[in-house]
Amino acid sequence: MARKDALTGNELTKTSTITLDHYNRHADSFWEGTRDHDVTQNRAALLEHMPGTGPFRILDFGCGPGRDLKAFKDMGHEVIGLDGAERFVQIARGFSGCEVWRQDFLRLELPENFFDGIFANASLFHIPSQELPRILKELWQTLKPQGVLFSSNPRGDNQEGWDGKRYGAYYDLEQWRRFMNAAKFTEITHYYRPPGVPRAEQPWLASLWRKTVEPAGHRINSN
């Protein structure tokens, strides 16, 4: 999905600065309200489809206050957090004892072929649609071959914009597939959350994607 009116550079910057300011201001109440949320299903889905037997090196993309960082660490994995909100980074480091990188989603600095998996739980939807292809390419590059990306986003009808002081883009499954396929990810599976209720009561779209790398072709000798 592309916006008919593309965001200017200044408007793009505001999608991050205003959203991050909101999270910084409300970090402690956000932590209290979400620390007991049960996303065991999502963590298990990522680990189930990871290549090999582990322990794995995992990037918690948009780790927030560190709930899932600690959960993965307690399972024996090497997990690194990433978040743009300074207060979230502080809480996450203290709570989980993990390394946490403070990075704006629109200005990532990630090592190539480094992670076995990426856990992007309720984070990628904050990226404006016009920047999403670039960010997904950077996430693809930081994964090892056959690495897995998990994402869970609030679903919608391909609209985006401001919800109070937070910017978000809300995709249906088909549009999300277009973005992921264009970034050279291969779909593994998808599901809706929370489980056990009618689809109308499942606002979250979860999906898993593999970094597939085509083998280098043999050069044809024309001599």
Contact 203, 154 (CB under 8 A): yes
- 101 vs 120: CA distance, rounded Å: 14
DSSP class of residue 87 equals H
Longest dimension (CA), the chain: 70
Q: Token pair for residue 131?
A: 């920047």
State the pTM of this model. Answer: 0.93
- 15 vs 106: CA distance, rounded Å: 10
Give the per-residue pLDDT at 4.
53
The string of pLDDT tens digits covering residues 73-91 is 999 999 999 999 999 999 9
pLDDT along the chain (223 residues), means of 10: 74 97 96 93 97 94 98 98 98 98 98 98 98 98 98 97 96 98 98 94 97 66 42
Query: Residue type for 211, please?
Result: K
Catalogue all structural domains in the chain, each as residue range(s) with its CATH number: 9-211 (3.40.50.150)
